[in-house]
Amino acid sequence: MPDALPLTPTPDARTVLRNVWGYPDFRGMQAAIVEQVIAGGDALVLMPTGGGKSLCYQIPALVRPGVGIVVSPLIALMRDQVDALRQLGVRAAYLNSTLDWREALEVERACERGGLDLLYVAPERLVTPRFLDLLERSRIALFALDEAHCVSQWGHDFRPEYLQCSILHERFPDVPRIALTATADAQTRADIVERLGLGGAEVFAASFDRPNITYRVQTKDNERRQLLDFIRHRHGEDAGIVYCMSRGKVESVAQWLREQGIDALPYHAGLEAETRQANQDRFIKAEGVVMVATVAFGMGIDKPNVRFVVHMDPPRSLEAYYQETGRAGRDGLPAEALMLYGFQDVVQLRQWVEASDAPARHKRTERQKLEALLGFCETARCRRQTILTYFGEEAPQPCGNCDTCFTPVATYDGTVEAQKALSAVYRTGQRFGVGHLIDVLRGLATEKVVERGHEKLKTFGVGRDLSKAEWQSVYRQLVAHGFLCADPEGHGGLMLTEAATPVLKGQEAVRLRKDPAAEARRTLRPGRSGPSERLSPADDALWHELKALRLELARDQGVPPYVIFHDATLMEMVRARPLDAVGLGLLPGVGSRKLDRYGEEFLEVIRRHA
């Protein structure tokens, strides 16, 4: 059982926030959500990653009598949150497959006798007769359904077992429920309400904006070199996640990064379970590790100081992109998201949607989600405005913290270029790839062009005014906008869609963006990006010594460093340089338990730099 201190009976929520977590006051909607649940009301919380969702159920669980039951989808998430809560003196535990029967029985007995403040459980275990009987014998403060988008078939992390969570309201109608998610478009939100029976719940929708994240999208041009430059020049000391579409690519990219001197680990569902777990543990508990992974990695990762997320391939929806990039900068400090995106990615994404055997309604929804993602990649407007619009928000002004704000993207009337490109597809028989089509347009009499007689076509040489890279950009955008599709036989050729006809006939204009790849790369100038970016040499020395102490303490206890103190709290120590316990205790993130446990050791380091 955890080494924890019992709290005084029914303490005030703000007192708990100050004494346990060390924060002076709630942020945004937190206070209203906490009050709603403490009063016994249901709540649906839509709040971005890093917005403080966990406090919205953890504090009510400590204030209300009984134990808070938290439904969590992943073992790693349960373990990380319980580790962090125990550091704060909260009586927290979990029930999952990592416990043997004796450990599980001890947790069950603690729950029954009122010896726990919070108990984390997987949805599969939640609805078993044994666990429901345990709940009947225990006093329940609340039910928290974390990652609630898992209940929706439209969500990107659909988990069928979440559907069974509706039994909670049937069996325990007087216990308040709080469902939380960081990512849900309008359709997913409606599904959550319907499937969990939350029609009477108060809905709290915070802004989806993550102003600390810098969004960038680059067209692929030697993608491995782009990745290496980004990590070396911007994030040499930082932890990050690199997402790849396939297991094979994960392995090869991780190996290549290691050969370049980057501490990188692979993670995908094809690895042995022990290897996967070992790699995840090292990423969470070490400093500066880069995890190269499929999307099998990430949900429930509580590491707050991930400083960057790179997509080597675009995901299938803007919702998935937002969820995955949201794993960066959970502590509110600066972070970056980079997506590398190319012509073949567009073709492949469209092929996947069209080849799906899903019902027509589902397929139509997936097509709409893909259009939104491609629109984000090809947009000339502020990236953040595009994301917020997708989630039903309006940002009146460009953010000033994304690549299209750093280097504004020009658009032009590309109707003539589109007609030339589409005509080349039609006249060559709608069965050739973009490389051959560009050769025809640029008037290159290659062996393949001459062999097929394509040097005699009207379109031969009509595109000499554009470079190969510029024509690649045109074709990529035409596929993204739905004027072209891939050959359904899978031979790599391009075909016209119905949408191309009005363009060829001059009945519809096409606006294209000038590919800013070169300008975007220039904005990635060398220099650190992160919390220590603007520190003086003296402050930087203190920062690194505080991190070293934190890592040493964490290793001694076998916990992630961030459960000792977050980067944001260490940075406050650097800025304020308190010399006594009173001053240290006033800093955000320094609760009474941590002050007693670690205060003097951190003060010693600060005093040496005074």
The predicted pLDDT at position 80 comes to 84
Report which secondary-structure segment, H or E, holds 343.
Answer: helix 343-355
Q: Can you tell me whether residue 163 is helix, strand or coil? A: helix
Cβ-proximal residues to 144 (8 Å cutoff; 6+ apart), any chain: 57, 61, 68, 69, 70, 71, 177, 178, 179, 180
pLDDT reported for residue 360? 78
Query: What CATH number matches the domain at 537-608, 1.10.150.80, 1.10.357.10, 3.40.50.300, 2.160.20.10?
Result: 1.10.150.80
**Between the CA of residue 39 and those of 34, 60, 178, 269, 405, what are the distances in Å?**
9, 9, 12, 42, 44
Tokens of 425: 């597809």
Q: What is the pLDDT of residue 2?
A: 42
- 411-515, CATH topology level: Arc Repressor Mutant, subunit A (1.10.10)
Tell me whether domains 213-406 and 411-515 share a fold: no
Residue ranges per structural domain of the chain: 13-205, 213-406, 411-515, 537-608
For residues 46 and 189, is the Cβ–Cβ distance under 8 A? yes
Half-sphere exposure of 343 (CA within 13 A, CB side): 21
Q: Residue 148: which of 194, 206, 212, 113 has the closest Cα?
A: 194
Q: Name the helix (H) or strand (E) containing 7.
A: none
**Could you tell me which CATH number the domain at 213-406 has?**
3.40.50.300
In 312-361, which ranges are E strands? 335-341
Q: What is the pLDDT of residues 514-547, one digit of tens each?
A: 876 544 444 454 455 566 667 888 999 999 999 9
Alpha carbons 604 and 610: distance in angstroms, whole number: 10
The pLDDT of residue 148 is 78
Tens digits of residue pLDDT in 454-465: 999 999 999 999
Q: Name the residue type at position 91.
A: R
| pTM of the entire predicted model | 0.81
Q: What CA–CA distances, in Å, run from 48 to 51, 177, 319, 330?
A: 5, 19, 12, 9
331, 566 in Cβ contact below 8 A? yes
Question: What region does 402 belong to: left with phi over 0, alpha with psi -120 to 50, or beta?
Answer: beta
CA distance 126 to 143: 11
Please state, in angstroms and as integers, the Cα–Cα distance from residue 306 to each residue in 51, 278, 334, 488, following that order. Answer: 15, 18, 10, 40
- Residue 344 to residues 44, 84, 351, 499, Cα–Cα distance (Å): 39, 43, 10, 20
Other Cβ atoms within 10 Å of 286 Cβ, number? 16
Q: Give 464-497 as a DSSP string.
A: TTS-HHHHHHHHHHHHHTTSEEE-TTSSS-EEE-
| Buried-exposed string 88-110: b where 16+ CB fall within 10 A, e elsewhere | bbbbbbbbbeeeeeeebeebbeb
Give the pLDDT of residue 511. Answer: 93
- The rounded Cα 372 to chain-centroid distance in angstroms is 17
Q: CA geometry: angle at 507 spanning 502 and 512, to 5°?
A: 80
pLDDT score recorded for residue 187: 75
Q: Which residue has the tokens 């994304």?
A: 402
What letter does residue 430 receive in the DSSP assignment?
Answer: S
Q: Tokens for 499, please give them.
A: 């949408």
545 φ, ψ (degrees, to nearest 5) = -70, -35
Which residues in the chain land under pLDDT 50?
1-9, 155-156, 518-523, 525-526
pLDDT value of position 522: 41
Architecture of domain 13-205: 3-Layer(aba) Sandwich (3.40)
CB atoms within 10 A of CB 390: 21
Q: How far apart are CA 557 and CA 551, in angstroms?
A: 10
